[in-house]
Amino acid sequence: MATEDFNQQLKTDKDKGQIDNVVKDIYKQLADDFPKSGQDGSPYTTDYGAAKKFLQDNKLLPGLELIGLDDKPDKNGVGLQVTDSGSGHKETYTIDPNTGIGRSNDGLIQAMVMPDGKIQRFEYSADGKLTGVIDGSGKSYTIDQTTGKSKYYDEANEQWVTTPGKFSLDQKTGAITITNDNGTREVHQVDGSIVKYNDNQKDKDGNPLVVEVGFAYDPTNKNSRGTMKFDYDKDGNLTSVRDQQGATWTKNADNKWQSDKVGADGKPIVSDADFSVDNQGAVTIRHKNSRETYHADGSKEKVTMVGDPVTSTVDVITDRAGHLTEIKGSNGSNIKVTYNGDKESVVVTPDGTYTRKENTWEFKDNENKVSTVISVNAFAADGSVVISTAEGQIVYKNGTKTFVPSAKQGGDK
53-67 residue pLDDT tens: 444 454 443 333 332
Residues 6+ away with beta carbon under 8 Å from 6: 44, 46, 48, 51
Report the distance separating Cα 197 and Cα 237, nearest Å: 15
pLDDT (tens digit per residue) in 155-165: 888 888 998 89
Cα 165 from chain centre: 26
Q: What is the pLDDT of residue 1?
A: 38
Of 398 and 378, which is predicted with more confidence? 378
Q: What is the pLDDT of residue 204?
A: 87
Q: Averaged over 86-109, what is the pLDDT?
A: 73
Of 80 and 39, which is predicted with more confidence? 80
- Looking from the CA of 394 toward its CB, the CA atoms found within 13 Å total 15
Q: Averaged over 120-144, what is the pLDDT?
A: 88
What's the pLDDT band for 87 if we cut at 50, 70, 90?
very low
Q: Averaged over 192-199, what is the pLDDT?
A: 95
* DSSP label at residue 216: P
Residue 225 in contact with residue 320, Cβ under 8 Å?
no
What's the pLDDT band for 269 if we cut at 50, 70, 90?
very high
Of 156-160, 244-248, 396-400, give the range with the top mean pLDDT: 244-248
Query: Percent of the chain beyond pLDDT 90?
Result: 50
Report the distance separating Cα 42 and Cα 252, nearest Å: 66
Cis peptide before 208 (omega within 30 of 0): no
pLDDT (tens digit per residue) in 330-373: 888 899 999 988 899 999 999 999 999 988 999 999 999 999 99
Report the distance separating Cα 79 and Cα 32, nearest Å: 12
- Mean pLDDT over all residues of the chain? 79
Of 308 and 374, which is predicted with more confidence? 374
Q: What is the pLDDT of residue 104?
A: 86
pTM for this model (two decimals): 0.73
Phi, psi of 318 (to 5 degrees): -120, 150
pLDDT (tens digit per residue) in 276-295: 999 999 999 999 999 999 99
Query: Percent of the chain beyond pLDDT 70?
Result: 75
The CA distances from residue 173 to 150, 161, 262, in Å, are 21, 28, 43
Angle at Cα 104 formed by Cα 98 and Cα 106, nearest 5°? Answer: 115
Q: Averaged over 239-259, what is the pLDDT?
A: 95
